[in-house]
Structure formats: C-alpha cells, structure tokens
Amino acid sequence: MKKVHIKLLLGCSALMLAGQACTDLTETTYDVIPTSGTFGSTPSQAAALIGPLYNGLGDYWGNKVNLNATTDEMIVPTRGGDWKDGDNWLRLYTHTWNPVTDNGQFNGPWNWCYNNITSINQQLGTIKDEATKAELRALRAFFHYEAMDMFGNVIIADQVSSGTPKQSTRTEVFNFIEKELLAVRPNLSSTVGGAYYGRMNKYVVDMILAKMYLNAQVYTGTPRWQNAITRCDTIINSGKFRLASDFFSNFSVQNQGSPEIILATPFDKSKRGGFHPQMQTLHYLNQLTYNIGTAPWNGFAAVTEFYNSFDDNDIRKKMWIVGQQYRADGTPLRDDALPMVFTPEIKSFVLAAGAEGRLQGARYQKYEIQKNNSFTEQDNDFVVFRLGDVYLMRGEAKFRLGNTAGALADINVIRARAGMPNFTTLTAENILAERGRELAGELHRRQDQIRFDTFGSPKRFKAQDPDKRYYLYPIPNDQLSLNPGLKQNPGY
C-alpha cells in the first residue's frame, strides 16, 4: 500500500547555522491515502464515495420532464416555427412515437437508469460500512424501479459484469426491487433532513415500496392494495413528516426546509444546475416580468381541459399563469400589437406564427420563479416524493378495498389544505382528478393514468389509442443494437 508522507527535517535550521550538515530525515506520517481496494472502509471515506452517485439522482427531473408531454397534463404546441423539433412533441402528445425516430427521447432515460446502476455496482465492492452499502443498494433499487416503470421488461444489474446482460420480465424486476428494499431497510437511517436530506433512508424505501404496491396490478397482474396502505401508514405514523400549511412552500426557491418532503434532489443555480422550468414555460418577454438573465423559451403549457379541472376557489390553481403579463415595474406588456394576455384555450396543436399563437396556454409556476436571477438555472430543489402524495395513495388504496370512509378521510385532508370542500362521495374519476390537481408537474401523471386506465384515452388533438402498447415506452433502438439479448416491447 502506497503512503503519502509529510517529511520534517528536524533540527535542520539550527544545525545549518552551526555549519553542520542536516542528516536526520525522520519521517512523521500525518495522513494516509490508501490506493488499494480498502478505501471506503470508514463512514467518512464511504461518504466521499457516494456523493457523486447521488449527483446522478439529481438528473431525475431532466430525464423525465419531457415525457410528461405524453400525459393529459402538459402540451408543447408548435408556435409558428418554434417547438417544431421534427414533430417530436406532437408524437409524444399523440402517442405516435417509435423506437427509431424517437430513439433519443427514450435512450436518455434508459442510460440515466443504467449508467447510475453501473456506477453504484462499481462502488459497492469497495465499501465495507453496512449502512452505506444498504443506502447504495436502495439507490440502485430506485433506478431499477424507474426503468421497470418506463420500459417494463428490463435488465436486473446487481453486480459488475462483462457479459451480455439478460432481459428479465417486469414481474421478475418487481420481485428483485421489493426483495432488495426489504433487505436493506433495517440498516438504513431513520434520520430525516440534515445530512440525510436528498438521500435514501427508511422512509424513502417505504415510499418506493408504496408506489410499487399501488401499481402492482399494472406491473405484475396482482393487486397489492393493503401492502400500499401498510407502507403509507409507516410514513404517516412515523411522525417525521407533516403537511406544510402553505401548499406552495413545498416548491419555493428555498424549499429545503419543507416538513412534507420525503425525497428531493437538491439544486443550486451556480453549483448544481439542471432545474429550469421557468425557461420551458414562460414567454420570451416574461424575462422583463421577473428580471431574469435569459429570455425564456415559450413552450410548455397546460392542456386546456386539465387547467379547467381546477375550481376557481382551489388554492392550487395559482400554479398556473393566465391573464395580462407585466414588466417588473408594473407596466403592462405587449406582444407585437396585442396585449400580452395568456389564455387557457389552445386552439390547435400547430399554431400560426404571430402573437396570438405565442400567447395561448396557461403557464406553469408551481415551482416559484426566482426573480432577479442572472442564471438560467434555479435554486428550488425538485420534490420526488412528499407526504401529500402519501395521503392520496393511502386514500386510493382504501377506496380500492371498499373502505370509502377511510378513503374520504385521507383525500379530504388534501382538499382541505387546498381550500376546497370535502368530497362526500368518491369515484375513480374524481380520485384521479384530485391527484392531478395536487401533483401536477411532479411527474407522476403517466403512472397514475396508466393505473386508472386512461393513458390511452382521447384528449384534445389526440384520438383514442388503438391498443395499450403505449402504456410502455419502447426499448430504445440504440440498446437493441448494443444488446442482442433485448427484445422489443410488444407492438413496436
């Protein structure tokens, strides 16, 4: 083992002044950096190794936000020549994508999952601390969960291997993830926030399991509603989390203190960029509204019917920007000859060039827009899991099991915070609608629509899907070329 030493020439100065040579070269070792495979054997060394692995988790939003355009929540219309992009957004919205033309759209999320899994596997062999190993196995399970949810029959990568990886069925992947999470949970921390903010702990594992059980019938064909309730109970009864009294505080520029967050990916506009929803949704001239350094791109908007699902008294409706827009000093803005007024109505997927087309669609501001920001990126942390979703999941699972009273109690907790009256009756339709209003922009909508069997339903500018092939994304064409053992999902 190579060591790095600091040499002290003891007594040299005095001896040299006396005209004598310094011959005492005794070495005193102050620190050691091992170059063998033992680095990572202490908690502090392990922490140094896992930091870069969590950086990969920070790419969650960047790899999934575009795919939200496949849902009934988000639309990216063509505005003159803007956002044409080879009709990429039209194919996503109308579920007419394919593995070749849209390879890049799906290859990015696939590589995000498996590049991170590979990096974790490479580090697991060097780490001796059992708590750290458990944490990394939980993180690896999370990436497998994401791959399974998006692509179905994927690869179980639980070790470093030079061979051709084997494709497993969705049920096999589900069982692997469940087994891993249950195995590591006892060794995970129950600390929330502080040093464990943005990291895997017991409650993040409970949340992943709850999500899996809620969707188990989709993934495996066997419902697991009671298991979902049990995991939600564990989170709620832990006392570690509480609903924020102010709904929008969960998404403020400095939202890291929210008592509701179970897992977030931290962002910093200068040190860890990658979060810029304001750029995707705001009009170019909104640069003057918020005094930001770069003109936004005028793209993402709410599907009209989705916007209209919010009651005017619903506090959450403020996540959408409509109406007259202003400069920071209060002066009304104009786009060419028209007052700059955002209208919820989107009249066509392909809009004519000009101000009228540029102004159609409600814009997204659930995450607070950072004013006077010279950076393209924002400081808000992206919320992956939070307590509001737990109440809605538990309520839905109770409803599925026939416990309507229990379901109403959970769902009405969320409606009360939104300033809305209690539901007195429940249907699958109004549960899905409530999830949409609460969780818009949090990237759960595709999963929810698939579970409620509405993902293929007609929506504005889109017909009924002819089949359910689009409930799974295609295995990317690049991956099929690299691995002859992979078989494409049915229907592609």
Per-residue pLDDT of the chain (492 residues; tens, 9 = 90+): 333 322 222 233 333 333 333 334 444 444 444 444 566 666 677 677 788 999 999 999 999 999 999 999 999 999 999 999 999 999 999 999 999 999 999 999 999 999 999 999 999 988 989 999 999 999 999 999 999 999 999 999 999 887 789 999 999 999 999 999 999 999 999 999 999 999 999 999 999 999 999 999 999 999 999 999 999 999 999 999 999 999 999 999 999 999 999 999 999 999 999 999 999 999 999 999 999 999 999 999 999 999 999 999 999 999 999 999 999 999 999 999 999 999 999 999 999 999 999 999 999 999 999 999 999 999 999 999 999 999 999 999 999 999 999 999 999 999 999 999 999 999 999 999 999 999 999 999 999 999 999 999 999 999 999 999 999 999 999 999 999 999 999 999
Q: 176 with 49, same domain?
A: yes
Q: 3 with 51, same domain?
A: no
DSSP state of 5: -
Point out the domain boundary residue: 363, 380, 397.
Answer: 380
Residues near 67 by beta carbon (within 8 Å), at least 6 away in sequence: 92, 105, 109, 150, 446, 473
Residue 214 lies in a domain: no
* Residue type at position 482: L
**Which residues constitute the domain of residue 178?**
43-188
Q: 85 with 176, same domain?
A: yes
- Torsion angle, CA of 364/367/368/370, rounded to 10 degrees? -90
Q: 155 with 52, same domain?
A: yes
Residue 49 lies in a domain: yes
Q: 29 with 116, same domain?
A: no
Alpha carbons 452 and 56: distance in angstroms, whole number: 31
Q: 138 with 177, same domain?
A: yes
Residue 103 lies in a domain: yes
Q: 12 with 108, same domain?
A: no
Q: 23 with 75, same domain?
A: no
Cα 36 to its chain centre, rounded Å, is: 36
- Partners of residue 68 on adjacent β-strands: none
Residue 241 lies in a domain: no
Total residue length of the chain = 492
* Residue type at position 261: I
Point out the domain boundary residue: 188, 205, 220.
Answer: 188
Residue 420 lies in a domain: no
Residue 298: the pLDDT is 98
**pTM, whole model, 2 decimals?**
0.91
Residue 269 lies in a domain: no
Q: Map tokens 């599925």 to a residue.
A: 400
Residue 9: the pLDDT is 27
Q: 56 with 124, same domain?
A: yes
Alpha carbons 156 and 148: distance in angstroms, whole number: 10
Point out the domain boundary residue: 349, 380, 411.
Answer: 380
The torsion angles phi and psi of 256, rounded to 5 degrees, stand at: -65, -15
Residue 92 lies in a domain: yes
Residue 46: the pLDDT is 67
Q: 332 with 356, same domain?
A: yes
How many domains in the chain? 3
Q: 53 with 103, same domain?
A: yes
- Partners of residue 74 on adjacent β-strands: 302
The torsion angles phi and psi of 136, rounded to 5 degrees, stand at: -70, -35
Residue 449 lies in a domain: no
Q: 5 with 56, same domain?
A: no
